[in-house]
Chain A
Amino acid sequence: GQNIDQPTEMTATEGAIVQINCTYQTSGFNGLFWYQQHAGEAPTFLSYNVLDGLEEKGRFSSFLSRSKGYSYLLLKELQMKDSASYLCAAMDSNYQLIWGAGTKLIIKP
C-alpha cells in the first residue's frame, strides 16, 4: 500500500534549527512536496524535490533520498510565525498526491 510517515508534533525554540523527517512508500514516484498549513487555512507550497539531494530556498531547505524513500524539511532561524503544520506529500505514478498526516511544529520563545 501507499504510506507517508512523519512525526505528529515537534517543539523548537525561536532562532534555532529544526528538521522534520518524512518517509514514504508509493506506487511509483514523481516527486516529494512539502506544504505549510496554518490553522484554519489552506496549505501553501514550500518545496518540490524529484532528484536526490538538497534544495535550499532561504531559511527552508528540503532533502530527498529516493533510494531510502526519505525526505526532510529543514527550517533555520526559526521565527514564531513558523508555528504551523508541515505536510509531506509524495506523488505517485498517477500523479496523485499521497499525503502525510502533518507535523505540528510549535515554536517557543
Chain B
Amino acid sequence: GAVVSQHPSRVICKSGTSVKIECRSLDFQATTMFWYRQFPKKSLMLMATSNEGSKATYEQGVEKDKFLINHASLTLSTLTVTSAHPEDSSFYICSARDSSGGDVEQFFGPGTRLTVL
C-alpha cells in the first residue's frame, strides 16, 4: 500500500516555542491531507483538512492561528504548533489521500508525539 512518513516521530519542546511537523506521501500524490490529534485512550480527533494549493479547512474549535497548516505540494504538508503550551502535548497523526482518482482510503503516517514542558 501507499506510504506516508512523518517527521519528527517525537519532539520535546519548551512552552512558548513553535514546533513544525512534516507529513510526506512517498509513493503517491496526496491531493488531500488530514491532520488528527489523539489523547491517550481516546479516538482520533480531526483537526483540519487540506487540499494541495488551498487553505486548510479547520474543524470547529481548532484555532487556525495556533495550528498552521501548509500543503504546498502534492507530497508534503506541514503542521506548525505555534507558541506551544503543555495542553498541546498530544499524539499528532497525518493521513493522506489521492482524491484525483476517486480513491477514498486514507493512508496514515506513523504519528508524532509532542511533549511540551
A contacts, CB < 8 Å to B: 30-31, 33, 35, 40-45, 48, 87, 91, 95-97, 99-102, 104
Contact = CB atoms under 8 A, between A and B. Distances in A.
A91 B44 CA distance: 14
B100 to A, nearest CB: 13
Contacts of B63: none
A100 B43 contact: yes
Interface stretch (B11-19, B77-85, B101-109): B101-109
Given A42-B93, A42-B109, A48-B104, A95 B43 contact: no
B111 A42 contact: yes
B110 interface: yes
Contact of A101 (B42, B91, B99, B106): B42
Which 10 pairs of residues, A with B, have the shortest CB-CB distance?
A: A42-B108, A101-B43, A42-B111, A99-B43, A99-B44, A42-B93, A102-B43, A42-B110, A43-B108, A31-B104
A96 B49 contact: yes
Which of A42, A96, A100 gathers the greatest number of chain B CB atoms within 10 Å? Answer: A42
Interface in B57-111: 91, 93, 99, 104-111
Contacts of A104: 41
Contact of A48 (B44, B46, B105, B108): B105
Contacts of A30: 104
A45 B43 contact: no
A43 B1 contact: no
A31 B108 CA distance: 18
11 contacts: A40-B113, A42-B93, A42-B109, A42-B110, A43-B44, A43-B93, A45-B1, A97-B106, A99-B46, A100-B43, A104-B41
A44 B104 contact: no
Given A41-B111, A42-B93, A91 B104 contact: yes
Nearest to B4: A42
